[in-house]
Chains A and B, each alone.
Chain A
Amino acid sequence: MSAARVETWLWLAQRGSAAVLAVAVAVHLAGIIFAVQGGLTAAEIAGRVGGSTAWAAFYGVFVVAATVHAPIGIRTVLSEMTALPPFSVNAVAALFAAMLLVSGFIAVAAVYQLGAA
Protein backbone atom coordinates (compact mmCIF):
# COMPACT_ATOMS: atom_id res chain seq x y z
CA MET A 1 0.00 0.00 0.00
CA SER A 2 1.34 3.42 -0.86
CA ALA A 3 2.41 5.74 1.92
CA ALA A 4 -0.56 8.01 1.28
CA ARG A 5 -3.01 5.12 1.65
CA VAL A 6 -1.29 3.90 4.83
CA GLU A 7 -1.52 7.37 6.34
CA THR A 8 -5.20 7.55 5.37
CA TRP A 9 -5.97 4.30 7.20
CA LEU A 10 -3.90 5.37 10.22
CA TRP A 11 -5.86 8.62 10.30
CA LEU A 12 -9.14 6.69 10.15
CA ALA A 13 -7.96 4.35 12.93
CA GLN A 14 -6.92 7.35 15.02
CA ARG A 15 -10.30 9.08 14.62
CA GLY A 16 -12.27 5.84 15.05
CA SER A 17 -10.44 4.93 18.25
CA ALA A 18 -10.90 8.56 19.38
CA ALA A 19 -14.66 8.19 19.05
CA VAL A 20 -14.60 4.94 21.08
CA LEU A 21 -12.36 6.56 23.69
CA ALA A 22 -14.64 9.60 23.93
CA VAL A 23 -17.39 7.32 25.24
CA ALA A 24 -15.09 5.12 27.33
CA VAL A 25 -13.32 8.12 28.90
CA ALA A 26 -16.61 9.79 29.71
CA VAL A 27 -17.78 6.66 31.52
CA HIS A 28 -14.38 6.31 33.21
CA LEU A 29 -14.28 9.97 34.32
CA ALA A 30 -17.77 9.72 35.76
CA GLY A 31 -16.71 6.57 37.58
CA ILE A 32 -13.53 8.15 38.98
CA ILE A 33 -15.23 11.34 40.08
CA PHE A 34 -18.01 9.53 41.87
CA ALA A 35 -15.95 6.59 43.11
CA VAL A 36 -13.06 8.47 44.65
CA GLN A 37 -15.07 9.93 47.48
CA GLY A 38 -12.49 10.61 50.16
CA GLY A 39 -10.14 7.76 49.36
CA LEU A 40 -10.17 4.58 47.31
CA THR A 41 -9.41 0.97 48.27
CA ALA A 42 -8.93 -2.21 46.29
CA ALA A 43 -12.07 -3.57 47.96
CA GLU A 44 -14.11 -0.62 46.65
CA ILE A 45 -12.76 -1.20 43.14
CA ALA A 46 -13.52 -4.91 43.42
CA GLY A 47 -17.04 -4.20 44.60
CA ARG A 48 -17.68 -1.73 41.81
CA VAL A 49 -16.13 -3.40 38.75
CA GLY A 50 -14.48 -6.64 39.89
CA GLY A 51 -15.78 -10.10 38.93
CA SER A 52 -18.02 -8.63 36.23
CA THR A 53 -17.66 -9.85 32.64
CA ALA A 54 -19.51 -6.74 31.44
CA TRP A 55 -16.97 -4.41 33.06
CA ALA A 56 -14.08 -6.60 31.88
CA ALA A 57 -15.43 -6.38 28.34
CA PHE A 58 -15.79 -2.59 28.67
CA TYR A 59 -12.22 -2.19 29.90
CA GLY A 60 -10.99 -4.65 27.25
CA VAL A 61 -12.45 -2.44 24.52
CA PHE A 62 -10.98 0.59 26.31
CA VAL A 63 -7.51 -1.01 26.26
CA VAL A 64 -7.72 -1.87 22.56
CA ALA A 65 -8.88 1.65 21.67
CA ALA A 66 -6.06 3.21 23.73
CA THR A 67 -3.56 0.82 22.13
CA VAL A 68 -4.59 2.06 18.69
CA HIS A 69 -4.89 5.74 19.60
CA ALA A 70 -1.87 6.55 21.76
CA PRO A 71 0.90 5.00 19.59
CA ILE A 72 -0.43 6.65 16.42
CA GLY A 73 -0.42 9.98 18.26
CA ILE A 74 3.09 9.44 19.60
CA ARG A 75 4.25 8.48 16.11
CA THR A 76 3.11 11.87 14.78
CA VAL A 77 4.73 13.79 17.64
CA LEU A 78 8.02 11.91 17.22
CA SER A 79 8.17 12.42 13.47
CA GLU A 80 7.41 16.16 13.72
CA MET A 81 9.40 17.08 16.79
CA THR A 82 12.44 14.80 16.77
CA ALA A 83 15.12 13.99 14.22
CA LEU A 84 14.38 10.26 14.38
CA PRO A 85 14.14 8.57 10.98
CA PRO A 86 10.76 7.07 9.90
CA PHE A 87 11.82 3.49 10.62
CA SER A 88 12.74 4.30 14.23
CA VAL A 89 9.56 6.30 14.73
CA ASN A 90 7.43 3.40 13.50
CA ALA A 91 9.41 0.94 15.64
CA VAL A 92 8.94 3.00 18.81
CA ALA A 93 5.21 3.33 18.11
CA ALA A 94 4.82 -0.39 17.45
CA LEU A 95 6.72 -1.36 20.61
CA PHE A 96 4.64 1.09 22.61
CA ALA A 97 1.47 -0.47 21.20
CA ALA A 98 2.62 -3.99 22.06
CA MET A 99 3.49 -2.92 25.60
CA LEU A 100 0.15 -1.20 26.13
CA LEU A 101 -1.82 -4.16 24.79
CA VAL A 102 -0.08 -6.71 27.01
CA SER A 103 0.03 -4.65 30.22
CA GLY A 104 -3.50 -3.39 29.58
CA PHE A 105 -4.98 -6.86 29.37
CA ILE A 106 -3.06 -8.01 32.44
CA ALA A 107 -4.57 -5.01 34.27
CA VAL A 108 -8.08 -5.94 33.05
CA ALA A 109 -7.54 -9.54 34.22
CA ALA A 110 -6.15 -8.38 37.58
CA VAL A 111 -9.12 -6.12 38.33
CA TYR A 112 -11.57 -8.84 37.24
CA GLN A 113 -9.89 -11.31 39.56
CA LEU A 114 -10.15 -8.90 42.49
CA GLY A 115 -13.89 -9.35 42.48
CA ALA A 116 -13.94 -13.02 41.55
CA ALA A 117 -11.79 -14.12 44.48
Chain B
Amino acid sequence: MAGTASETLSVSIWRGGAAGRFVAYQVPRRESQTVLDVVTFVQRRLDASLSYRFACRVGMCGSCAMTVNGKPRWTCRTHVSKVAKDGRLEIAPLRNLPVVKDLSVDMRTFFDKWTEAGGAFAPTATRADGFATIPPTDAKRRNADGGIECIGCGVCYSACDVVAWNPKYLGPAALNRAWTLVNDARDGAGAGRLLKVAGDAGCHACHSHEACREHCPKHLNPTAAIASLKRAVAVAALKGSL
Protein backbone atom coordinates (compact mmCIF):
# COMPACT_ATOMS: atom_id res chain seq x y z
CA MET B 1 0.00 0.00 0.00
CA ALA B 2 3.01 2.28 0.04
CA GLY B 3 3.34 5.21 -2.35
CA THR B 4 0.68 4.56 -4.99
CA ALA B 5 -2.28 6.92 -5.18
CA SER B 6 -5.58 5.05 -5.13
CA GLU B 7 -7.55 5.14 -8.39
CA THR B 8 -10.81 5.82 -6.63
CA LEU B 9 -11.66 8.43 -4.06
CA SER B 10 -13.93 7.64 -1.14
CA VAL B 11 -16.02 10.77 -0.92
CA SER B 12 -18.43 11.54 1.88
CA ILE B 13 -20.92 14.32 1.07
CA TRP B 14 -23.50 15.97 3.30
CA ARG B 15 -27.04 15.40 2.08
CA GLY B 16 -30.10 17.08 3.53
CA GLY B 17 -30.72 20.34 5.37
CA ALA B 18 -29.69 21.14 8.92
CA ALA B 19 -30.78 17.59 9.68
CA GLY B 20 -29.20 15.15 7.29
CA ARG B 21 -26.34 12.70 6.98
CA PHE B 22 -23.12 12.03 5.13
CA VAL B 23 -23.55 9.77 2.09
CA ALA B 24 -20.63 7.89 0.57
CA TYR B 25 -19.71 8.00 -3.13
CA GLN B 26 -16.86 6.42 -5.09
CA VAL B 27 -15.32 8.88 -7.54
CA PRO B 28 -12.59 8.03 -10.10
CA ARG B 29 -9.39 9.88 -9.49
CA ARG B 30 -8.03 12.12 -12.26
CA GLU B 31 -4.92 14.18 -12.69
CA SER B 32 -5.14 17.82 -11.54
CA GLN B 33 -8.60 17.09 -10.16
CA THR B 34 -10.15 19.72 -7.91
CA VAL B 35 -12.76 19.15 -5.22
CA LEU B 36 -15.25 21.01 -7.42
CA ASP B 37 -14.54 18.45 -10.17
CA VAL B 38 -15.39 15.72 -7.65
CA VAL B 39 -18.69 17.32 -6.61
CA THR B 40 -19.60 17.94 -10.26
CA PHE B 41 -18.86 14.31 -11.13
CA VAL B 42 -21.16 13.11 -8.35
CA GLN B 43 -23.99 15.37 -9.48
CA ARG B 44 -23.66 14.53 -13.19
CA ARG B 45 -22.93 10.81 -13.06
CA LEU B 46 -23.98 9.41 -9.69
CA ASP B 47 -26.78 11.43 -8.11
CA ALA B 48 -28.51 14.27 -9.99
CA SER B 49 -30.31 15.36 -6.81
CA LEU B 50 -27.13 16.77 -5.26
CA SER B 51 -27.38 20.57 -4.79
CA TYR B 52 -24.31 22.77 -4.83
CA ARG B 53 -23.17 26.21 -6.04
CA PHE B 54 -20.39 27.30 -8.35
CA ALA B 55 -19.94 29.93 -11.04
CA CYS B 56 -16.56 30.95 -12.43
CA ARG B 57 -14.73 27.71 -11.40
CA VAL B 58 -11.42 29.59 -11.71
CA GLY B 59 -11.00 31.15 -8.24
CA MET B 60 -12.54 34.59 -8.79
CA CYS B 61 -16.13 34.52 -7.56
CA GLY B 62 -16.05 32.58 -4.28
CA SER B 63 -19.38 30.83 -4.98
CA CYS B 64 -17.98 27.31 -4.59
CA ALA B 65 -16.88 27.66 -0.97
CA MET B 66 -17.54 24.51 1.09
CA THR B 67 -16.09 22.70 4.09
CA VAL B 68 -13.50 20.22 2.85
CA ASN B 69 -12.07 17.79 5.43
CA GLY B 70 -13.10 20.21 8.16
CA LYS B 71 -11.72 23.41 6.63
CA PRO B 72 -13.65 26.05 4.66
CA ARG B 73 -12.12 26.40 1.19
CA TRP B 74 -12.83 27.32 -2.43
CA THR B 75 -13.42 23.91 -3.96
CA CYS B 76 -12.41 25.04 -7.45
CA ARG B 77 -8.97 25.98 -6.11
CA THR B 78 -8.50 22.94 -3.89
CA HIS B 79 -6.58 20.18 -5.59
CA VAL B 80 -7.63 16.73 -4.48
CA SER B 81 -3.99 15.67 -4.34
CA LYS B 82 -3.37 18.32 -1.67
CA VAL B 83 -6.21 17.38 0.67
CA ALA B 84 -7.14 13.74 0.10
CA LYS B 85 -3.89 12.28 1.32
CA ASP B 86 -5.40 8.88 2.09
CA GLY B 87 -7.86 8.92 -0.79
CA ARG B 88 -10.70 10.16 1.45
CA LEU B 89 -12.65 13.37 1.17
CA GLU B 90 -15.36 14.76 3.42
CA ILE B 91 -17.38 17.57 1.83
CA ALA B 92 -19.91 19.55 3.82
CA PRO B 93 -21.65 22.93 3.48
CA LEU B 94 -20.01 26.04 4.97
CA ARG B 95 -20.22 26.20 8.74
CA ASN B 96 -22.07 28.96 10.66
CA LEU B 97 -24.73 29.51 7.99
CA PRO B 98 -28.12 27.79 7.68
CA VAL B 99 -28.07 24.87 5.25
CA VAL B 100 -30.57 25.21 2.41
CA LYS B 101 -29.88 21.82 0.87
CA ASP B 102 -26.82 19.59 0.68
CA LEU B 103 -23.86 21.85 -0.05
CA SER B 104 -25.75 25.14 -0.48
CA VAL B 105 -26.08 27.55 2.44
CA ASP B 106 -28.24 30.62 3.01
CA MET B 107 -25.87 33.57 2.72
CA ARG B 108 -28.39 36.21 3.80
CA THR B 109 -27.17 36.58 7.41
CA PHE B 110 -23.64 37.02 6.11
CA PHE B 111 -24.65 39.93 3.89
CA ASP B 112 -27.12 41.40 6.39
CA LYS B 113 -24.26 41.68 8.90
CA TRP B 114 -22.24 43.47 6.21
CA THR B 115 -24.95 46.17 6.24
CA GLU B 116 -25.23 46.18 10.04
CA ALA B 117 -21.51 46.86 10.28
CA GLY B 118 -21.92 50.00 8.19
CA GLY B 119 -20.38 48.23 5.20
CA ALA B 120 -21.96 50.54 2.63
CA PHE B 121 -20.02 53.46 1.19
CA ALA B 122 -21.57 56.84 2.07
CA PRO B 123 -20.72 59.32 -0.69
CA THR B 124 -19.89 62.93 0.09
CA ALA B 125 -19.31 64.27 -3.42
CA THR B 126 -21.39 64.55 -6.57
CA ARG B 127 -20.57 64.15 -10.24
CA ALA B 128 -20.14 67.91 -10.38
CA ASP B 129 -17.18 67.71 -7.99
CA GLY B 130 -13.71 66.80 -9.18
CA PHE B 131 -11.97 63.50 -8.41
CA ALA B 132 -10.79 63.00 -4.87
CA THR B 133 -6.99 63.16 -5.01
CA ILE B 134 -5.59 60.51 -2.70
CA PRO B 135 -2.00 59.42 -3.24
CA PRO B 136 -1.62 55.60 -3.22
CA THR B 137 1.11 56.01 -0.60
CA ASP B 138 -1.30 57.70 1.81
CA ALA B 139 -1.33 55.70 5.07
CA LYS B 140 -5.09 55.45 5.33
CA ARG B 141 -5.40 54.50 1.67
CA ARG B 142 -2.89 51.70 2.25
CA ASN B 143 -4.99 50.46 5.18
CA ALA B 144 -8.06 50.44 2.94
CA ASP B 145 -6.19 48.78 0.05
CA GLY B 146 -5.18 45.97 2.39
CA GLY B 147 -8.77 44.84 2.69
CA ILE B 148 -10.71 45.84 -0.42
CA GLU B 149 -10.03 42.64 -2.39
CA CYS B 150 -12.67 40.79 -0.36
CA ILE B 151 -15.25 39.12 -2.63
CA GLY B 152 -17.63 38.09 0.13
CA CYS B 153 -17.14 34.33 -0.23
CA GLY B 154 -17.89 33.57 3.43
CA VAL B 155 -14.85 31.38 4.11
CA CYS B 156 -13.62 33.57 6.97
CA TYR B 157 -17.11 33.73 8.49
CA SER B 158 -17.27 29.97 8.30
CA ALA B 159 -13.85 29.52 9.91
CA CYS B 160 -14.54 31.86 12.83
CA ASP B 161 -15.34 30.24 16.19
CA VAL B 162 -16.65 33.49 17.67
CA VAL B 163 -19.28 33.52 14.91
CA ALA B 164 -20.19 30.00 16.01
CA TRP B 165 -20.33 30.95 19.72
CA ASN B 166 -21.96 34.38 19.39
CA PRO B 167 -24.87 34.49 16.89
CA LYS B 168 -24.89 38.30 16.88
CA TYR B 169 -21.20 38.67 16.05
CA LEU B 170 -20.84 40.61 12.81
CA GLY B 171 -17.91 38.50 11.71
CA PRO B 172 -14.53 39.05 10.05
CA ALA B 173 -15.70 39.96 6.54
CA ALA B 174 -18.18 42.64 7.62
CA LEU B 175 -15.70 44.16 10.07
CA ASN B 176 -12.89 44.05 7.52
CA ARG B 177 -15.17 45.88 5.11
CA ALA B 178 -16.04 48.48 7.77
CA TRP B 179 -12.32 49.06 8.35
CA THR B 180 -11.70 49.74 4.66
CA LEU B 181 -14.46 52.36 4.72
CA VAL B 182 -13.22 53.92 7.98
CA ASN B 183 -10.01 54.52 6.04
CA ASP B 184 -11.70 55.85 2.92
CA ALA B 185 -11.24 59.63 2.89
CA ARG B 186 -14.20 60.03 0.52
CA ASP B 187 -16.65 58.29 2.85
CA GLY B 188 -18.98 60.33 5.05
CA ALA B 189 -20.39 57.79 7.51
CA GLY B 190 -17.56 58.35 10.01
CA ALA B 191 -18.45 58.19 13.70
CA GLY B 192 -21.75 56.40 13.17
CA ARG B 193 -19.94 53.47 11.63
CA LEU B 194 -17.53 53.22 14.57
CA LEU B 195 -20.48 52.85 16.91
CA LYS B 196 -21.90 50.11 14.68
CA VAL B 197 -18.72 48.05 14.87
CA ALA B 198 -18.19 48.48 18.62
CA GLY B 199 -19.57 46.17 21.25
CA ASP B 200 -19.75 42.43 21.74
CA ALA B 201 -21.54 42.02 18.42
CA GLY B 202 -18.66 43.92 16.88
CA CYS B 203 -14.91 44.19 17.06
CA HIS B 204 -14.69 43.67 20.83
CA ALA B 205 -15.85 40.08 20.48
CA CYS B 206 -12.80 39.15 18.42
CA HIS B 207 -10.25 37.10 20.36
CA SER B 208 -7.63 37.07 17.62
CA HIS B 209 -7.88 33.36 16.83
CA GLU B 210 -6.74 34.40 13.34
CA ALA B 211 -8.78 31.62 11.74
CA CYS B 212 -10.05 34.21 9.26
CA ARG B 213 -6.53 35.14 8.17
CA GLU B 214 -5.44 31.49 8.05
CA HIS B 215 -8.26 30.48 5.71
CA CYS B 216 -8.85 33.55 3.53
CA PRO B 217 -8.23 32.45 -0.07
CA LYS B 218 -7.26 36.02 -0.98
CA HIS B 219 -4.76 36.21 1.91
CA LEU B 220 -6.51 39.14 3.54
CA ASN B 221 -6.09 39.86 7.24
CA PRO B 222 -9.36 40.58 9.05
CA THR B 223 -7.64 40.00 12.41
CA ALA B 224 -5.45 43.04 11.78
CA ALA B 225 -8.41 45.07 10.52
CA ILE B 226 -10.45 44.22 13.61
CA ALA B 227 -7.54 45.03 15.96
CA SER B 228 -7.29 48.40 14.21
CA LEU B 229 -11.02 48.95 14.64
CA LYS B 230 -10.62 48.29 18.38
CA ARG B 231 -7.99 51.02 18.49
CA ALA B 232 -10.11 53.46 16.47
CA VAL B 233 -13.18 52.84 18.62
CA ALA B 234 -11.17 53.26 21.85
CA VAL B 235 -9.68 56.55 20.64
CA ALA B 236 -13.15 57.80 19.73
CA ALA B 237 -14.50 56.78 23.15
CA LEU B 238 -11.64 58.51 24.95
CA LYS B 239 -12.19 61.66 22.90
CA GLY B 240 -15.91 61.53 23.64
CA SER B 241 -16.82 61.28 19.98
CA LEU B 242 -18.14 57.69 19.97
Give A residues with C-beta under 8 Å from B. 2-12, 76, 79-81
Which residues of B sit under 8 angstroms from A7, Cβ to Cβ? Answer: 198-200, 202, 204
Contact between B165 and A4, CB atoms less than 8 A apart: no
Q: Can you list 29 A-B contacts (CB < 8 A)? A: A2-B195, A2-B199, A3-B199, A3-B200, A4-B199, A4-B201, A4-B242, A5-B195, A5-B199, A5-B237, A6-B199, A7-B199, A7-B200, A8-B198, A8-B204, A8-B234, A8-B242, A10-B204, A11-B204, A11-B230, A12-B237, A12-B238, A76-B200, A79-B166, A79-B200, A80-B162, A80-B165, A80-B166, A81-B165
Contact between B234 and A11, CB atoms less than 8 A apart: yes
How far does the alpha carbon of A79 sit from the alpha carbon of B201 in the complex, in Å? 12
Q: Digitize B145-167: 1 where CB-to-A-CB distance is under 8 Å, 0 elsewhere.
A: 00000000000000000100110
Give B residues with C-beta under 8 Å from A. 162, 165-166, 195-196, 198-202, 204, 230, 233-234, 237-238, 242
Contact between A12 and B166, CB atoms less than 8 A apart: no
How far does the alpha carbon of A3 sit from the alpha carbon of B166 in the complex, in Å? 15
Contact between B198 and A4, CB atoms less than 8 A apart: yes
Contact between B165 and A8, CB atoms less than 8 A apart: no
With both beta carbons as reference points, the residue of chain B lying nearest to A14 in the complex is identified as B204
Which residues of B sit under 8 angstroms from A81, Cβ to Cβ? Answer: 165
Which residues of B sit under 8 angstroms from A76, Cβ to Cβ? Answer: 200
Which residue, of A3, A9, A10, A11, has the highest number of chain B Cβ atoms within 10 A? A11
8 Å CB contact of A12 from B165, B195, B202, B234: B234
Contact between B237 and A9, CB atoms less than 8 A apart: yes
How far does the alpha carbon of A42 sit from the alpha carbon of B53 in the complex, in Å? 70
How far does the alpha carbon of A8 sit from the alpha carbon of B197 in the complex, in Å? 10
With both beta carbons as reference points, the residue of chain A lying nearest to B230 in the complex is identified as A11
List 17 extra interface pairs beyond A4-B196, A11-B234, A12-B237, CB under 8 A.
Answer: A3-B199, A4-B198, A4-B242, A5-B195, A5-B198, A6-B199, A7-B198, A7-B200, A7-B204, A8-B199, A8-B204, A8-B237, A10-B204, A11-B204, A79-B166, A79-B200, A80-B165
How far does the alpha carbon of A80 sit from the alpha carbon of B237 in the complex, in Å? 25
How far does the alpha carbon of A79 sit from the alpha carbon of B207 in the complex, in Å? 14
Q: How far is the CB of B54 from chain A (nearest CB, A)?
A: 34
With both beta carbons as reference points, the residue of chain A lying nearest to B195 in the complex is identified as A4
Q: How far is the CB of A81 from chain B (nearest CB, A)?
A: 7
Which residues of B sit under 8 angstroms from A3, Cβ to Cβ? Answer: 199-200
Given A11-B204, A12-B237, A79-B200: A5 and B165 interface contact (C-beta under 8 Å): no
Which residue, of B162, B196, B201, B204, has the highest number of chain A Cβ atoms within 10 A? B204
